[in-house]
């Protein structure tokens, strides 16, 4: 069983210890998905990860 801790730094833990969440963007994406109910539009993901100036490759990177 995996528990996700969202208050303070985002963490994932199991009975055997912490799980490495990867890069800040991967952690940010996980946080966004955990906080939303249902599908998250790709434009919302891009906005959450890069803000107002996403790179041209942002949509393909998310996919």
Mean pLDDT over 9-37 rounds to 92
Residue percentage of the chain with pLDDT more than 90? 81
pTM, two decimal places: 0.79
Q: In this structure, what CATH number is given to the domain that contains residue 28?
A: 1.10.10.10
Residue 5 located in a structural domain: no
Residue 34 located in a structural domain: yes
What is the span of the domain harbouring residue 56? 22-63
What pLDDT score was predicted for residue 16? 95
Q: Name the residue with tokens 């800040």.
A: 24
CA distance 18 to 11: 7
Residue 10 located in a structural domain: no
Q: How confident is the prediction for the chain on average, in pLDDT? A: 93
Tokens linked to 29: 């994406």
**Structural domains in the chain (count):** 1
Residue 44 located in a structural domain: yes
Residue 38 located in a structural domain: yes
Residue 3 located in a structural domain: no
Do residues 62 and 46 make contact, with C-beta atoms less than 8 angstroms apart? yes
């Amino acid at each position: 069983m995996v528990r996700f801790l969202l208050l303070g730094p985002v963490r994932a833990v199991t009975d055997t210890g912490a799980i490495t969440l990867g890069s800040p963007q991967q952690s940010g994406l996980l946080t966004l998905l955990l906080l939303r109910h249902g599908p998250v539009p790709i434009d919302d993901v891009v906005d959450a990860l890069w803000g107002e100036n996403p790179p041209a490759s942002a949509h393909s990177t998310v996919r």
